[in-house]
C-alpha cells in the first residue's frame, strides 16, 4: 500500500505532456553517449540500502533500465528505428503518469543504446467511417496493412508496446514489453519485469530472482580478478651523513609502480626508481623493491595510512654502490595527494673508493601524486 500511495501522489502533481506533431519519414533521433562514472548510480545505492520502504520512482527507473540493457544486448541495428506504439498504465494508476513513464523509458533507451525512437501518432488516433448502413469507429492500428503503411511512413523496423501495472496486494510494480517486427508482424522480443516493494528483488519472465546485493557482488568479483596498478611521483628531501661534512640534505625525486592485491586490495608491491642530489657533495640513484600494507579499511573518499618496507641499492658508480633499506609510512590525504616519511640505513661507502665516506641513518620526508 505504501508503494501505491507513493506512486499515486507523484502522479497527481505530474503535468500533462503536450502531444507531438507528426515526424517526417526521414527524421532520426540520435542518442547521446552515456557518461562514464566510477561511483555507484543513485538507484543502485538506494535499493541496496536497508530499509522498510522502496521508492516507486526508483523501482520504475530500475525496470526501464533493465529493459534498456536488454535492447542494447539485442543490438540497435536489429531494432532501430523503433516506433513507440502504445504505453499503458493499469486502471488503478493516474492516466497522466503514462506520459512520465514514456519519457523515462525513452531516456533509458537513449542512454543504453544508439537507436532511434519515434512516437506513433496514428497508433492512438480515433477514426470513423461509414460502411454501408453502419457507422464504424476504430482506434489505433487494426490491420496488418495499416502496420506496414505506418512503418513505411516513419521508416520503422519494429513496434514497441509497453504496459506498466501496479498491484497493491502484494505491493509490486510490473512492466511487460513486446517488440514486433513491422515487415511480418513476428515478435522480436518479449519480456516481463517485476519488483516487489518489501524485498527489492527484480524478477524477469524466465530468470531466477536476483537481489541487488548479488548483482553488486558479481561485479566486485569480476573487478577483483583484474590487476590493479598504482603509480606515484614523489618529491622530497633526504639526509645522508658524511664523516667530514656531517649531515647532508639533498633533493629526492621518485617514481613508484606497484600492484594492489589481497581480498580487500590492502597490500601493494612493486618497484621504485629515485634520484638523489646534494649539490657539491653527493649524487646518485636508488633502485628498490617495496611492499606496504594499508592500515584499516579502505575508502576511496577518505584518507588512508600505509606502512611499508623497501630494500634496494644506492648507485653512485662502480665502486660507490651500497645497499639501502628501511621503512616508510605514507598518508594518502585524498585520491591524488599523499605525504610520506621514511627512515632508512646505508652502510658506509666512498664514491669511487676514495674521499669522504657516507652512510648511516637516512631519514626522508616529502609529498607525492598518486594515480590508481
**What is the pLDDT, as a whole number, of residue 14?**
45
Q: Give the distance from CA 81 to its chain's centroid.
A: 27
CB of 86 closer than 8 Å to CB of 52: no
pTM for the full predicted model: 0.43
**What is the pLDDT, as a whole number, of residue 18?**
42
**What is the pLDDT, as a whole number, of residue 200?**
61
**What is the pLDDT, as a whole number, of residue 40?**
46
Quote the mean pLDDT of the chain: 79
Is pLDDT of 192 > 90?
A: no
Pairing of strands 82-89, 158-167: parallel
**What is the pLDDT, as a whole number, of residue 147?**
77
Residues 225-255: tens digit of each pLDDT: 777 889 999 999 999 998 888 889 999 999 9
User: Burial, 117: exposed, middle or buried (Cβ in 10 Å; 0-12, 13-18, 19+)?
Assistant: buried
SS3 annotation, 327-372: EEEEEECCCCEEEEEEEEEEEEEEHHHCCCEEEEEEEEEEEEEEEC
CA distance 208 to 215: 12
CB of 63 closer than 8 Å to CB of 195: yes
Residues 135-174: tens digit of each pLDDT: 877 776 667 777 778 778 878 888 888 999 988 877 788 8
User: Burial, 215: exposed, middle or buried (Cβ in 10 Å; 0-12, 13-18, 19+)?
Assistant: middle
Per-residue DSSP letters for 141-210?
Answer: --SHHHHHHHHHHHT-SEEEEEEEEEETTTTEEEEEEEEEETTT--EEEEEEEEEETTT-EEEESSS--E
Q: Which CATH number fits domain 228-371: 2.40.160.20, 1.20.58.1000, 3.30.70.80, 2.60.15.10?
A: 2.40.160.20
More confident residue, 90 or 210: 90
| Domain range list for the chain | 2-224, 228-371
**What is the pLDDT, as a whole number, of residue 231?**
94
With b for 16 or more beta-carbon neighbours within 10 A and e for fewer, the 327-358 pattern comes to ebebebeeeeebebebebebeebbbeeeeeeb
CA distance 294 to 314: 27
CB of 180 closer than 8 Å to CB of 154: no
CA distance 158 to 80: 7
**What is the pLDDT, as a whole number, of residue 39?**
47
CA distance 68 to 66: 5
Amino acid at each position: 500500500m505504501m508503494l501505491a500511495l507513493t506512486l499515486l501522489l507523484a502522479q497527481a502533481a505530474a503535468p500533462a505532456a503536450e502531444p507531438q506533431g507528426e515526424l517526417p519519414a526521414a527524421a532520426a533521433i540520435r542518442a547521446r553517449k552515456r557518461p562514464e562514472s566510477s561511483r555507484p548510480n543513485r538507484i543502485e545505492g538506494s535499493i541496496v540500502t536497508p530499509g522498510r520502504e522502496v521508492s516507486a520512482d526508483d523501482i520504475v527507473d530500475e525496470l526501464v533500465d533493465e529493459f534498456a540493457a536488454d535492447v542494447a544486448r539485442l543490438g540497435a541495428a536489429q531494432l532501430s528505428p523503433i516506433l513507440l506504439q502504445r504505453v499503458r498504465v493499469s486502471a488503478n494508476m493516474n492516466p497522466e503518469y503514462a506520459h512520465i513513464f514514456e519519457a523515462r523509458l525513452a531516456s533509458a533507451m537513449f542512454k543504453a543504446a544508439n537507436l532511434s525512437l519515434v512516437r506513433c501518432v496514428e497508433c492512438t488516433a480515433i477514426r470513423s467511417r461509414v460502411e454501408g448502413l453502419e457507422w464504424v469507429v476504430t482506434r489505433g492500428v487494426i490491420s496488418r496493412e495499416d502496420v506496414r503503411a505506418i512503418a513505411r511512413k516513419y521508416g520503422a523496423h519494429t513496434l514497441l508496446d509497453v504496459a506498466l501495472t501496479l498491484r497493491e496486494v502484494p505491493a509490486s510494480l510490473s512492466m511487460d514489453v513486446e517488440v514486433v517486427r513491422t515487415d511480418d508482424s513476428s515478435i522480436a522480443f518479449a519480456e516481463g519485469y517485476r519488483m516487489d516493494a518489501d524485498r527489492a528483488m527484480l524478477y524477469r519472465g524466465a530468470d531466477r530472482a536476483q537481489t541487488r546485493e548479488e548483482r553488486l557482488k558479481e561485479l566486485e568479483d569480476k573487478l577483483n580478478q583484474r590487476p590493479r596498478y598504482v603509480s606515484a611521483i614523489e618529491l622530497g628531501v633526504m639526509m645522508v651523513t658524511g664523516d667530514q661534512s656531517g649531515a647532508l640534505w639533498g633533493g629526492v625525486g621518485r617514481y613508484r609502480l606497484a600492484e594492489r592485491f589481497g581480498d580487500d586490495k590492502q597490500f601493494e608491491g612493486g618497484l621504485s626508481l629515485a634520484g638523489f642530489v646534494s649539490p657539491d657533495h653527493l649524487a646518485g640513484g636508488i633502485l628498490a623493491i617495496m611492499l606496504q600494507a594499508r592500515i584499516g579499511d579502505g575508502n576511496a573518499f577518505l584518507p588512508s595510512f600505509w606502512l611499508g618496507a623497501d630494500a634496494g641499492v644506492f648507485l653512485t658508480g662502480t665502486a660507490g654502490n651500497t645497499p639501502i633499506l628501511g621503512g616508510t609510512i605514507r598518508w594518502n590525504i585524498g585520491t591524488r595527494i599523499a605525504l610520506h616519511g621514511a627512515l632508512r640505513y646505508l652502510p658506509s661507502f666512498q664514491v669511487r673508493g676514495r674521499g669522504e665516506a657516507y652512510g648511516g641513518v637516512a631519514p626522508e620526508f616529502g609529498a607525492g601524486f598518486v594515480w590508481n
